[in-house]
Amino acid sequence: MKITAIYAGTFDPVTRGHLDVMTRAGNMFDRVIVAVAASPGKKPLFNLSDRVALIERVLAGRENFDIQPFTGLLVEFAAAREASVIVRGLRSVTDFDYEVQIASFNRKMHPEIETAFVAAAAEYSFISSSLVREIASLGGDVSPFVDEPVERALQVQFG
Ligand code: COA
């Protein structure tokens, strides 16, 4: 039986930390849907189609990935796509309580969908998209944290 997993986030923008989790998910599951949340409440810097396009570029050539935008509840999106696993990256113990809470809500709504936690690589555990945006906005070097297409997109945004 082929297993489809979903890895969701706002990805504003996608970082090497996210890519690390995506790579691990791609090694574990037959197909990985990268679900890009509209997240209007976060007032993203990049619009939804740009965030999708950037992930398509950094994952170019990797065949078992499918990048899709979504709105609404993640667990409903997962069920509609017949994904049986939601992958979440854990960066540190501070992520844990919140993640377990979300996983419990999701299980209540769709008991057939399992949440799998993937430990992010230590060298990326401190990265967040908002810090990457802040460094870029202040003219700092983001190349250690994001792939080249993302670095260029940030340069365009911040001139
Ligand atoms: N490496 C680097 N950074 C990471 C990371 C990793 N492995 N994992 C997470 N992050 C960062 C993200 O970039 C983000 O940074 P930011 O806050 O600076 O932008 C932060 O950690 C939080 O990540 P995450 O918890 O994945 O939030 P998100 O906003 O990226 O995505 C959704 C959250 C979209 C998955 C979640 O809100 C969702 O599922 N929404 C739909 C509604 C829903 O179903 N809600 C649940 C109800 S029970």
CA of 93 to the centre of ligand 1 (A): 15
User: What are the backbone angles phi and psi of residue 72, rounded to the nearest 5°?
Assistant: 90, -160
Res 120 pLDDT > 90: no
Q: Give the per-residue pLDDT at 88.
A: 96
Residue 39 Cα, ligand 1 centroid: separation in angstroms? Answer: 9
- CA nearest 149: which of 59, 20, 21? 59
pLDDT, tens digit (0-9, with 9 covering 90-100), for 70-108: 999 999 999 999 999 999 999 888 888 999 999 999 999
Q: State pLDDT tens for residues 12-44.
A: 999 999 999 999 999 999 999 999 999 999 999
Ligand 1 atom at minimum distance from 76 CA: 44
Helix (H, G, I), strand (E, B) or coil at 70: strand
Of the candidates 42, 62, 130, 137, the residue annotated as catalytic is 42
pTM (global) more than 0.75: yes
Percentage above 70 pLDDT, the chain: 100
Mean pLDDT calculated for residue range 121-141: 94
Is the preceding omega at residue 13 within 30 degrees of 0, hence cis?
yes
